């Protein structure tokens, strides 16, 4: 089985678990408020900043070098969106790194110290998610907050990539050419599963913020019936 297929099939359950977090469902039901979304952008900025810096530091690694695409880096676009929401909606930042975010960052740093090649799994989960499901979230976010163009949605824009679908194909092809033995492939899959869990816990934390910011009565209307 190819590496790309192994990651896709091997993380399918974790992917589904993450999508079922109430916070994600609230997004697609148009229930997101500007303050909670700003917290989301803030947490993601902290994660991407660390992941991308470590990727730069290890870009000559024989495994990471095959998946080193600066065109995917999200730090600047997240900063741009945060400024947009602060100016347009008067939102604020937490002022400190949240618990789930810090756990995520700690894991990335610890993993990169011992096995930097596993950054591949972390990048796979985040970037392919941004290129795929993230494009659907972009439309919902724009509609929810009445945004036009790429105002407040720069995070989901990849101006240096002309064809997202074709690029995803190239990314998966590069995954399949990674010089990995069976043991390394198994480690990569486990790291991808762990990364999905870290994202899930981040969204669960944001779910608590959403309840507080919009109130339980409004929050209850966003949950699926039954």
Averaged pLDDT, groups of 10, the chain, 226 residues long: 94 95 93 97 98 96 94 98 98 95 98 95 96 94 94 96 96 94 95 98 97 92 73
Q: In this predicted structure, what is the pLDDT of residue 225?
A: 63
Q: In this predicted structure, what is the pLDDT of residue 56?
A: 96
Q: In this predicted structure, what is the pLDDT of residue 129?
A: 94
Number of domains in the chain: 1
Question: Domain residues for 171?
Answer: 3-222
Q: Which residues carry a binding-site annotation?
A: 8, 15, 124, 172
Alpha-carbon distance of 189 to 151, in angstroms, equals 36
Tokens of 178: 């990674």
Q: Which residues carry a binding-site annotation for heme b?
A: 8, 15, 124, 172
Task: Return the CATH number at 48.
Answer: 1.20.910.10
Burial class (CB in 10 A: 0-12, 13-18, 19+), 226: exposed
Q: In this predicted structure, what is the pLDDT of residue 198?
A: 98
Q: In this predicted structure, what is the pLDDT of residue 222?
A: 85
Alpha-carbon distance of 195 to 119, in angstroms, equals 10
Q: In this predicted structure, what is the pLDDT of residue 166?
A: 97
∠ CA(122), CA(150), CA(26), 5° rounding? 60
């Amino acid at each position: 089985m190819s590496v790309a297929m192994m990651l896709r099939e091997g993380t399918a359950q974790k992917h589904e678990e993450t999508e079922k977090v109430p916070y994600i469902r609230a997004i697609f039901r148009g229930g997101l408020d500007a303050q909670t979304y700003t917290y989301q952008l803030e947490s993601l900025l902290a994660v991407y900043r660390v992941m991308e810096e470590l990727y730069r530091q290890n870009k000559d690694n024989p495994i990471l070098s095959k998946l080193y695409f600066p065109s995917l880096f999200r730090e600047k676009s997240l900063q741009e969106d945060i400024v947009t929401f602060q100016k347009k909606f008067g939102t604020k930042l937490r002022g400190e790194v949240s618990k789930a975010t810090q756990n995520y960052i700690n894991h990335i740093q610890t993993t990169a110290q011992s096995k930097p090649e596993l950054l591949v799994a972390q990048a796979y989960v985040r970037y392919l998610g941004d290129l795929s499901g993230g494009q659907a979230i972009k439309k919902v976010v724009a509609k929810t907050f009445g945004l036009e163009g790429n105002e407040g949605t720069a995070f989901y824009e990849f101006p240096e990539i002309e064809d997202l679908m074709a690029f995803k194909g190239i990314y998966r092809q590069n995954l399949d050419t990674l010089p990995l033995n069976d043991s390394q492939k198994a480690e990569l899959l486990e790291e991808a599963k762990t990364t999905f869990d870290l994202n899930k816990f981040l969204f669960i934390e944001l779910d608590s913020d959403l309840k507080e910011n919009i109130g339980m009565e409004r929050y209850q209307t966003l949950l699926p019936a039954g």
